[in-house]
Amino acid sequence: MDGKQATGQVAIVTGGGTGIGRAAALALLGAGWRVAVAGRRREPLDEIVAQAPAGQALAVPTDVTDPASVEALFAATVRAFGRVDLLFNNAGVSVTAPIEDLAIEDWKRAVDTNLNGMFYCLQQAFRVMKAQTPMGGRIINNGSISAHAPRPGSIAYTATKHAVTGLTRTAALDGRKHDIAVGQIDIGNAVTELAARMAKGVPQANGEIRAEPMMDVAIVGQSVLYMASLPLEANVLFHTVMATKMPFVGRG
C-alpha cells in the first residue's frame, strides 16, 4: 500500500530527534502523516517541525523513563491532532561493557529506558487507542538485531531488547480485541550517530575487531512507513531490515 494513502493519520515517534526516530518521522511526514516527535532535547525536535508543513508536526520534549512525562506526551498529541493512529516505540539507549565491569547504574539505565520506557509508551497507546473513535491503531516496537543475537559485551542492551520481543508478542495478542496491531522492527547497522562505530571496527564473536557493512538510515524510515501503511486487518509481526552483508545470518 502506498504510504500516501495514510494522509491525515496521526503518529507519535519516540526518540524522534535523531537517528532512526528522525528517519521514521521524516518518512511519515513525507507521506502526509501528522507526527508528534518526542525526545529528551527540544532542539532536534524543533528542527524536524521546521521541515514539516505548518501544523503537521508537533515537538513534545519527553522523558520515556517517567510515566507522567509519557502520559503528557499522549495527552498533548490528542489535544493537537485528535487521536493517535501509530506509535513508533523507538526511544532507547546503548550500554556496552563486560558483564563483570558493568556498572549497576548503567544496567538500571538500560532497563529503565529500553524496557520500562517502552512499556509506559505501549500502555498509554493502548489506553488512547481503545478509547478513541474509530477504535484502534498500530504500535511498532524497535527491537534491534540484538533482540535475536547478542554482540560481545552487550548484556544490558541485549537483555532489554530480548524483553521487547516479549512486549511485542503479548501486546499483539492483547491488542486484537481493541483493533490494535502490534509489530516489531529489528534493525541492523543503519548509519546513525549511535551505530557509527560499526563502520570503524567492533568486536566480533571470535574476538577479532572488524568494520561492518552499513546501510542508509532512510531505508529504515521507509520500512517503518511500510509497516504503518498497512490496513489494521494486516500486521507485520516481525520485520528485520539490515545491511545485507553484516554479520548475523549463519556464522558471519
Q: What is the pTM of this model?
A: 0.93
**Mind telling me the catalytic residues?**
157
Q: Are 35 and 11 in contact (CB under 8 A)?
A: yes
pLDDT in tens, 155-208: 999 999 999 999 999 999 999 999 999 999 999 999 887 676 776 788 888 888
Q: Which residues of 184-212 are buried (b: 16+ CB within 10 A; e: fewer)?
A: bbbbbbbbbeebeebeeebeeeeeeeeeb
* CA–CA distance, 247 with 87 (Å, rounded to integer): 30
Domain boundaries, the chain: 3-242
Q: Note the CATH architecture for domain 3-242.
A: 3-Layer(aba) Sandwich (3.40)
* CA–CA distance, 115 with 117 (Å, rounded to integer): 6
Please give the backbone phi and psi of residue 233, each rounded to the nearest 5 degrees, phi first: -75, -10
The full 3-state SS of 220-246, as one line of letters, equals HHHHHHHHHHCCCCCCCCEEEEECCCC
Residue 36 reports pLDDT greater than 80: yes
Confidence tier at 83 by pLDDT (50, 70, 90): very high
Residue 6 reports pLDDT greater than 60: no
For the record, the C-alpha cell of 68 comes out as: 507522567
* CA–CA distance, 30 with 100 (Å, rounded to integer): 46
Confidence tier at 239 by pLDDT (50, 70, 90): very high
CA distances from 30 to 2, 33, 84, 141 (A): 12, 7, 18, 21
